[in-house]
Amino acid sequence: MSQPVVVAVAITGSVPRKSDNPALPVTVSEQIESTHAAYEAGATLAHIHVRNDDESPSSDPEKFAAVQAGLRTHCPGMIVQFSTGGRGRDPASRGLSLRHAPDMASLSTGSVNFPTIVYENHATLVQELAAQMKRVGTRPEIEIFDLSHLHGAKRLVEAGLMDERPHVQFVMGVQNAMPADAHLLDILLAELRRVLPRATWTAAGIGRHQAPVMDWALARGADAVRTGLEDNIRITKDRLAASNAELVGLAVEAVTRRGRAVASPAEARAALGLPA
Ligand code: ZN
């Protein structure tokens, strides 16, 4: 029997706006409501960014805490993952939310070109964020935007800042970074197995690449799939996604088509090395 698949939902992100898709949850209460519907549809991991009133990215730790509290109440067992990502945020503030000890936090282990900016992750900042996560008992999800970032993760293990079993996400289809390409995923996976053989893994496809990347990941035995409005706001070229829950429904169908089971909250926690 293959392991059940964790369905992760990235509900908001830092780029899409309500004017792109009115279903995007922006306020704390919208985020809790949208995640709850996604949870009911089968999602067991919520990847969280928070926004200011003008929809710009926020680093306010109290907003993160309010979303976390709402999810703990309404989505029992769901894994709460805070973003420490940098788009539109001051580097010094990216780890502020870690004081609330989320189950997981995203961690980028190197720099890369993005559509309009350089996504800068200085080695010192990466180490500081990893150390903070270790201190509060938050498990990292390593964001891989380039092959060298796998080696950045390996260096954190060697420095004792992370255990040998992080959760790793390959991100494909970001303009100016890695293209969405099945052969490239094979190369990344081979390198992951060489440098971090005990890691769990998933892959995220951005925009129209969401469904194909998910399918490539499932075909290769991924521990998790990732969906949500952060990465993709459309069902087809001509139709916007109605909600995060609709995207989660499609992910559940993709998992089932591959003959695999969707993880329950308890199974998701066990799969990613989190306490029940
Ligand atoms: Zn994110």
Q: How far apart are CA 170 and CA 213, in angstroms?
A: 10
238 confidence band (pLDDT: 50, 70, 90): very high
Residue 92 clears pLDDT 90, i.e. is over it: no
Question: pTM to 2 decimals?
Answer: 0.97
Q: Are 111 and 120 in contact (CB under 8 A)?
A: yes
For residue 3, give the DSSP letter: P
- Cα(76) to centroid of ligand 1, in Å? 22
Residue 266 resides in a domain: yes
pLDDT digits (tens, 9 = 90+) for 171-230: 999 999 999 999 999 999 999 999 999 999 999 999 999 999 999 999 999 999 999 999
Number of domains in the chain: 1
Sequence-distant (6+) residues with CB within 8 A of 120 are 86, 91, 111
CATH number, domain containing residue 44: 3.20.20.70
Q: How far apart are CA 172 and CA 130, in angstroms?
A: 23
Residue 24 resides in a domain: yes
Residue 267 resides in a domain: yes
**Does residue 137 come out as left (phi exceeding 0), alpha (psi in the -120 to 50 range) or beta?**
left
Residue 141 resides in a domain: yes
Question: What domain range includes position 35?
Answer: 6-271
Residue 127 resides in a domain: yes
- Cα(31) to centroid of ligand 1, in Å? 14
Residue 243 resides in a domain: yes
- Cα(4) to centroid of ligand 1, in Å? 23
What amino acid occupies position 67? V
- Cα(1) to centroid of ligand 1, in Å? 31
Residue 1 resides in a domain: no
Which uninterrupted H or E stretch holds 46? strand 45-48
Q: Give start and end residues of each alpha helix (H) in 144-243.
A: 148-158, 182-195, 210-219
Residue 276 resides in a domain: no
Neighbours of ion ligand 1 (CB under 5 A): 83
Average pLDDT, rounded, for the chain: 97
Q: Are 103 and 80 in contact (CB under 8 A)?
A: yes
Q: Are 55 and 22 in contact (CB under 8 A)?
A: no
- Cα(10) to centroid of ligand 1, in Å? 6
